[in-house]
Structure formats: C-alpha cells, structure tokens
Structure 1
Amino acid sequence: MTQAVPRTIAIHADAPPKPAWGEPCNGCGVCCLAEPCPIGILVSARRFGACRALAWDEPAQRYVCGVLTGQRHLLPRWLRPIAPWLQRRAARWIAAGSGCDCDVELDDA
C-alpha cells in the first residue's frame, strides 16, 4: 500500500469548502489546484501542480475553468487560435456536471 505524501496547495481564502465525493461542484478549486485535468495538462504544459487555466471569479466567489469560460488570456499563445474549439469541448473533458471526483483530502492545519 502506498501512503499519500502531504503537500500544500494555496486556496483562495473565500473559496467554498470542498464538497463530498459525488456532490455537485461548487467551485472550491481543490481538484485543479492539486493537479491539472487532461485539458489542463495541455494548457499548463505540466502534469503536476496547479492548472494555469484555473481562474478566481470574484463576483461569484468561486474558481472557474478558464477554458470552459472562454478566457483566452489564460491559454498559451499557440492555443488561442483554437480557443472556441477547446471551449466547446471543455465541459466533457473536465467531466463538468458529473459531481466531485477529487479524492484529495484536506487538512485545515
């Protein structure tokens, strides 16, 4: 059995608490701050660490996927020409609407 290695992720102070597994997404951002999803890997050019496409939505007081919301400035320049194509596919690629599938356990220490 492997044991989880503790690490720190920076979460906005006003972010909502992480929902339980399977509960609707509330924009807590934990999943995307811990590691990028498949489209986040493409956008962030990394497999570990926070996704570069994650954006804080101040009025809504939650995190949003910049690809899903069409925030082209969050994309690398080489992906900006296909931003509309990416945006149309983002919901499926990030499993939007399928409930929380993040198994990261938070320690409020």
Structure 2
Amino acid sequence: MNLIEFAKTAKDDVSPEDFVAKMKEILPLDEVKNLTEEEGLMFFSAVSWLHDLGLLLIEFNEQDGEMPSPDGQRMAPCIPGTHGPFIDTVLTRGRDEPDFSPLVNFGLE
C-alpha cells in the first residue's frame, strides 16, 4: 500500500490504533527512531512538504476558501483534524521535557 491508496481506503471513524497499523503498512515506523540527525531533518522536510501539499489539496476542494469547523459552522481558517494519535512536540508542550515514548509506541498508550 502507498500513501495514495491509504487516503482512498481511510475512513472517518478510524481509531488511532487502526491509523497507526495502516501507517505501518506504508512506512516502517519502527525505523524512524534510528535515523541520523541529517536523515531526521530530511524526513521532517519530506513530511512538512506533504503536509503543505495536503493543506493545499484541502483548500482546493473547499472552493469558497473556507473550511468547515468540527461543529459544521463555516469559518476560516480551520484545518481538519487527524485520525492518528496525538504526539506532543516542542510546538505543543512548550519548554517541558520531551516524552520520547512515541518513538516506541507511536503515540498510543
């Protein structure tokens, strides 16, 4: 399975556990923690580029330039949520010590 096939088969009600299981079919997540610093930066660059491309696709499909909020109201900007587990990073936790357990459990408890 590749990422396009994943997108075509994903469901709105997929659980975080199912999301991670399907992602493991696309990407060997267990190997991510073994990347060197340089490889990790390239991985981040690729994922960031795909994220930006995905946002552009969402904008393209919302022809009026507004995206629905979770309660169905129209507003801008509103980025749709993810189905995968939440992984806390420096952008969300502030200056607290990082929790590296997602490198082992992929954000699942």
Q: TM-score if structure 1 supplies the norm length?
A: 0.24
Structure showing greater Rg: 2
Q: TM-score if structure 2 supplies the norm length?
A: 0.24
- Name the structure where helix makes up a greater proportion of residues: 2
